[in-house]
Structure 1
Amino acid sequence: MTNDIKRRRFVGAGSGMALAAAAGGLVQAPAARAAEAGSAGEAGAAGAQATGVTVVPADSRYPDLTSGMNQRWQARPEKIVLPRTTAEVVAAVREAVTTSKQLSVVSGGHCFEDFVFNADIKINIKLSLMNQVSFDTAMNAFCVGGGATLLDVYEALYEGWGVTIPGGICHSVGVGGHITGGGFGNLSRQHGLTVDHLHAVEVVVVNADGTVRSVIAARDSTEARLRDLFWAHTGGGGGSFGIVTRFWFRTPGATGGPESLLPKAPSEIYLTLANWPWEKVTQDGFSRLVTYWGKWLEQNNTAGTTAGSLYSWLLLNHRDSGSLGAVVQLDASLPNAAAVLSDFLAGMDLALGLSSATRRSSGVLDSAYTTTKLQPWLRGTRYIGSISATQLDPTTRGIHKSSHLRTATPQRQIDAMYRNLTNTELPSPFAGIVLSASGGRIASVSPTATAVAQRDAIMKTNFESLWYDTKDDAKNIAWVRNAFSEVYADTGGVPVPNGVTDGCYINYPDGDLSDPAVNTSGVPWHDLYWKGNYARLQQVKRAWDPRNIFHHRQSIRP
């Protein structure tokens, strides 16, 4: 089973970002990253002596810095700037403004679209050297550099203070895009979205007269304009308002020392991998599985309960992959956790008609198709982020499309999924449809409290394909486009917000949404991402980036 599971890319929270995030960077030892810092001003002053790096085409490092994880998108910038301080970001942006050269910024490089890497980019600002994680005593919040990866954050927060943020499973994703797009992950049904714990951002912005400066915008800023700028970074996506050089995290209402200001990371988690061979799956069984999975989420959606905290990914891989799969995580300390998990897993086997003799392992019922391990939280987090052979592979090409669903998947959509997953068009074996759970604590926040509008969705979907050779571009792109348009054929080929579907996820950006030949719904791309929140995002754009310096194909329009 494990070898089959490794063939799949677990795409999720971590994947993608409206403005990508940089892989790696210079990763300090956890102890160094967890050291306490002083105030925000002191941190900036201390860093002012640091010297960033500039890479030009003649530099041997240049080829490594002109693309991200998706090799479909390439750039040939005149220079790549790797700053170490906010002041150096300000200088790089000032150069782009005064010379009228288009810039882009990368934190981890996981952007699904060409927003960061394209032929028009002349100056690329890569934040990977700004990856520090510390506790800021003046702000009474945890400070995270804009180039840190999720694993940087998980290790530093957990090893230093025993806390965490509910971010994605792909640990090489950078925080820059993940957070600004409203990132989510395996702890989100238990603790909400990452932005539900965001306290402040430091942003490099450009004024109407072309001057460049940095500002700190917080949830509790006294100035309304600053509160609006903060709000725009709680799901408005990257690349629209400025460059975030630092994030501060503190759960609203939390008091006490650092150890009580963010969610406690679980001591141990149940981590389940499920694998069902396609040759044993009938069309009726497939339908029952997808229906059961969605109905279970509908019926177990209460924040604060054990079932409402269970997180699951359902991996509907193309038949050529050989199997369907699932990943399930649950905090083992929650009441009746083993029983809740066992019942959920048994229900998936039964839906497929593949129930079999079971054995009890780590307090959870295992079957011939599911294996559950009781893992320390950080070890399990590292494990689930790295078990897929393609997840961290920087040589793949890809296409992705997303949707939010407010109910279990309707039968007509399930039938369309099955047709496309079992067709003989032979896309990549890494093609499929990934369903990821939502709801729980996520749904306890108002759709206007942050820029994330889809608060009552119970799941996200990601239609995807990954491959290696340019000659396979056409068939893989066509497969994903066809599958997506057929599933949402009733609403113009896209998941129009209604009683069932609820638009798309900005961190899984999809350039086709802007094409009226593909999106025939009449609903513009920005309303699919942000619904009624778009008008306020435009107001913030006009106030903070009136010259539209920070833009890409699907950035907020002034």
Structure 2
Amino acid sequence: MTENTSSSVGVIRVGDDAYQDLSVRGINKRFTAEPEAFHVVTGTEQVVNAVREAVRDGKRIAVRSGGHGYENMVGDPAVQVVIDLGEMREVSFDPERKAFAVEPGVRMADLYRTLYERWGVVLPAGDSATVGVGGHVAGGGFGSLCRSAGLAADHLLAVEVVVVDASGDVRTVVATRDPADPHHDLWWAHTGGGGGNFGIVTRYWFRSPDATGDDPREALPRPPASVLTGTVLFNRESLSRTALRTLVGNFGRWHENNSAPDSPYTALFSGLVLFGRPREGDPGMGAVAFVHVDATRPDADRLMSDYVSELTAGLGDFPAVLPTEVVPWLEAKKALAQAQDAEIGRQKVKSAFLRRGYSDDQIDTLYDYLDSTDHSNDSSLVSLQSYGGRVNAVAGDATASAQRDSVIQAFFMNTWQDEKLDETNVDWMRRLFRDLYAKTGGVPVPGEENDGCYINFPDTDMADPEWNTSGVSWEELYYKGNIARLREIKAKWDPRNVFRHTLSIRSEG
């Protein structure tokens, strides 16, 4: 951190050396945070003091850990104080709780390396290297190990939260998984209720529900020592409308048939990334499928080959199936992160949970938008990723993460660099999503085929009646039947609505 010319250490104001760096730290370059002050905190006491000062002075607060928020929650002009948790990066084993204590500013890459190299364990969380633990876990947290080990929030034992009561008193509360804990509801809210809703998380403790004993090496799942990786390339010129129907249909049907909690295919995680046509020059790749299988399984080669065969069935010989490779688990995780973090710039994202694969009509919509040349983006993609497995072994109300019988998680991203192209590119993404879900009011309404949206990919369009004509509220899309309980918890733990943003939970419907 550069030298601070303000009166208080850790408080960065307009004109201070580090202010500009903190303003642009977010992943989505459409948004810049310009509050009166950033509080760069390094411990719980500093968070308490920062919140107490803001509440006393009537200042609007926003909180940030990794800076991966895709919507303008932190950069909202109404925000006057940003409490930045990015320097709270400690990972340790707490022998009293027999759990791993993790601060909210820890990035995923550092968390994986520390847990694996020191204790041989893993938290089954997201794949981006730079996502912070803070908001990610509060939103549920899924990644390439979710089918075999569930969500990150499924392993949450306890959470330390800075809260504000009705009188404005600021205090720290530790809430646990124990149903007898009087603060249990606050723990539950942080297993999928999303960040910035109830207070500020200053520490998580992780221990699997079925863990026994005192050994840290048994407190969380062990990842496979090595991973069998596979890649299939689909060139754009061969990926016709009919071929895309076949490919996306194959991906959907396979996941419909192989995503039960007890399926042997919980050892397999795959993604199918469909790319938009570049504006000019090289036509680019049409799609890429990647596959990870636990290489320590004696049937790993068969699981891989059977999956690739089903994925490419009916497509002839144009898919390029690259040779498989066995790599150490941590290296495989790094490769996923490099691919996921490649898109940098101004962005608009959307998400959906799928209980069934897309219909031919929906695939045609994807084809029309992704193959079009009348847009101005630098890159666009639709990423379909494996879901289900052990995620679906948990009841929908056992945690705040309500989507517990989906089989695919869909992520939509449009990226560009020029600020002048914001309106055009946001509109392109909005129209794609609206037309894809035209039969359900432009959004993935929970039902036989869809299961709503993922709060860690927030999208304010879900609260906009122009783009959500379904009659289903944005809260129901993200939280389904859990929203009533989340509203009660919000009213109890944040009665003054100190912690709020565009998509924060309201105390009343």
Shared fold (TM-score, shorter chain, > 0.5):
yes
Residue 11 of structure 2 corresponds to residue 54 of structure 1: yes
Residue 300 of structure 2 corresponds to residue 337 of structure 1: yes
2:84 is matched with 126
Distance 2:317 2:101 in 1: 48
Distance 2:367 2:317 in 1: 18
1:328 is matched with 291
2:454 is matched with 505
Q: How far apart are residue 539 of structure 1 and its match? A: 0.5
Distance 1:167 1:371 in 2: 28
CA contact (8 A) 1:104 1:550 kept: yes
CA contact (8 A) 1:74 1:119 kept: no
Q: How far apart are residue 387 of structure 1 and its match? A: 4.1
Amino acid at match of 1:523: V
Q: How far apart are residue 172 of structure 1 and its match? A: 0.5
CA contact (8 A) 2:128 2:340 kept: no
Residue 344 of structure 2 corresponds to residue 383 of structure 1: no
CA contact (8 A) 2:128 2:341 kept: no
1:145 is matched with 103
Amino acid at match of 2:246: R
Residue 432 of structure 2 corresponds to residue 483 of structure 1: yes
Residue 174 of structure 2 corresponds to residue 216 of structure 1: yes
Does the residue aligned with 2:455 lie in a helix, a strand or coil?
coil
Distance 1:335 1:329 in 2: 15
The equivalent position to 1:551 in structure 2, one of 476, 488, 500, is 500
Does the residue aligned with 1:254 lie in a helix, a strand or coil?
coil
Q: How far apart are residue 221 of structure 1 and its match? A: 5.7
2:207 is matched with 250
Residue 190 of structure 2 corresponds to residue 238 of structure 1: no
Amino acid at match of 1:77: P
Q: How far apart are residue 388 of structure 1 and its match? A: 5.9
1:317 is matched with 275
Q: How far apart are residue 511 of structure 1 and its match? A: 0.4
Unaligned stretches of 5+ residues in structure 2: 2-7
Q: How far apart are residue 118 of structure 1 and its match? A: 1.8
Residue 354 of structure 2 corresponds to residue 405 of structure 1: yes
CA contact (8 A) 1:205 1:242 kept: yes
Q: How far apart are residue 326 of structure 1 and its match? A: 1.7
Residue 326 of structure 2 corresponds to residue 374 of structure 1: yes
Amino acid at match of 1:518: W
Distance 2:178 2:331 in 1: 35
2:5 is matched with none
Residue 399 of structure 2 corresponds to residue 450 of structure 1: yes
Closer/same/farther in 2, CA of residues 371 and 59 from structure 1, 3 Å limit: farther
After superposition, what is the alpha-carbon deviation per residue over 1:168-203, rounded to whole angstroms, capped at 9, x for unaligned?
Answer: 111100011110001100010011000111111000
Distance 1:370 1:351 in 2: 18
CA contact (8 A) 2:238 2:318 kept: no
CA contact (8 A) 2:381 2:413 kept: yes
Does the residue aligned with 1:386 lie in a helix, a strand or coil?
helix
2:164 is matched with 206
CA contact (8 A) 2:252 2:356 kept: yes
Residue 413 of structure 2 corresponds to residue 464 of structure 1: yes
Amino acid at match of 2:312: D
Closer/same/farther in 2, CA of residues 156 and 411 from structure 1, 3 Å limit: same
Unaligned stretches of 5+ residues in structure 1: 1-24, 26-50, 357-367
Does the residue aligned with 2:203 lie in a helix, a strand or coil?
strand
Distance 2:326 2:41 in 1: 41
Distance 1:295 1:545 in 2: 44
Q: How far apart are residue 308 of structure 1 and its match? A: 2.5
Q: How far apart are residue 416 of structure 1 and its match? A: 1.2
CA contact (8 A) 2:108 2:129 kept: yes
Distance 2:290 2:329 in 1: 15
The equivalent position to 1:196 in structure 2, one of 154, 163, 173, is 154
CA contact (8 A) 2:387 2:406 kept: yes
Does the residue aligned with 2:475 lie in a helix, a strand or coil?
helix
2:75 is matched with 117
1:157 is matched with 115
Distance 1:389 1:167 in 2: 15
The equivalent position to 2:231 in structure 1, one of 263, 273, 289, is 273
Does the residue aligned with 1:352 lie in a helix, a strand or coil?
coil
CA contact (8 A) 2:271 2:385 kept: yes
Distance 1:498 1:353 in 2: 34
The equivalent position to 1:353 in structure 2, one of 316, 323, 327, is 316
CA contact (8 A) 2:11 2:38 kept: yes
1:86 is matched with 44
Amino acid at match of 1:306: P
Distance 2:341 2:468 in 1: 33
Does the residue aligned with 1:461 lie in a helix, a strand or coil?
strand
Q: How far apart are residue 284 of structure 1 and its match? A: 1.1
Q: How far apart are residue 403 of structure 1 and its match? A: 0.9
Q: How far apart are residue 280 of structure 1 and its match? A: 1.4
Q: How far apart are residue 275 of structure 1 and its match? A: 1.9
Amino acid at match of 1:376: P
Distance 1:414 1:81 in 2: 46
CA contact (8 A) 1:303 1:309 kept: no
Distance 2:262 2:325 in 1: 23
Does the residue aligned with 2:327 lie in a helix, a strand or coil?
strand
Closer/same/farther in 2, CA of residues 389 and 462 from structure 1, 3 Å limit: closer
State the number of aligned residues.
Answer: 495
CA contact (8 A) 1:190 1:304 kept: no
Q: How far apart are residue 351 of structure 1 and its match? A: 3.8
Distance 1:52 1:351 in 2: 64
- Determine which structure has greater relative contact order: mean sequence separation of CA pairs < 8 Å that are 6+ residues apart, divided by chain length: 1
CA contact (8 A) 1:133 1:152 kept: no
CA contact (8 A) 1:286 1:352 kept: no
The equivalent position to 1:181 in structure 2, one of 139, 161, 164, is 139
After superposition, what is the alpha-carbon deviation per residue over 1:431-483, rounded to whole angstroms, capped at 9, x for unaligned?
Answer: 12111111111110000000111110111111210111112212211111111
1:540 is matched with 489
2:27 is matched with 69
After superposition, what is the alpha-carbon deviation per residue over 1:12-40, rounded to whole angstroms, capped at 9, x for unaligned?
Answer: xxxxxxxxxxxxx9xxxxxxxxxxxxxxx
CA contact (8 A) 1:276 1:369 kept: no
Amino acid at match of 1:412: D
TM-score relative to the length of structure 2: 0.94
TM-score relative to the length of structure 1: 0.86
CA contact (8 A) 2:245 2:364 kept: yes
Does the residue aligned with 1:385 lie in a helix, a strand or coil?
helix
Q: How far apart are residue 370 of structure 1 and its match? A: 2.9
Amino acid at match of 2:289: A
CA contact (8 A) 1:83 1:130 kept: yes
CA contact (8 A) 1:306 1:334 kept: no
Does the residue aligned with 1:115 lie in a helix, a strand or coil?
coil
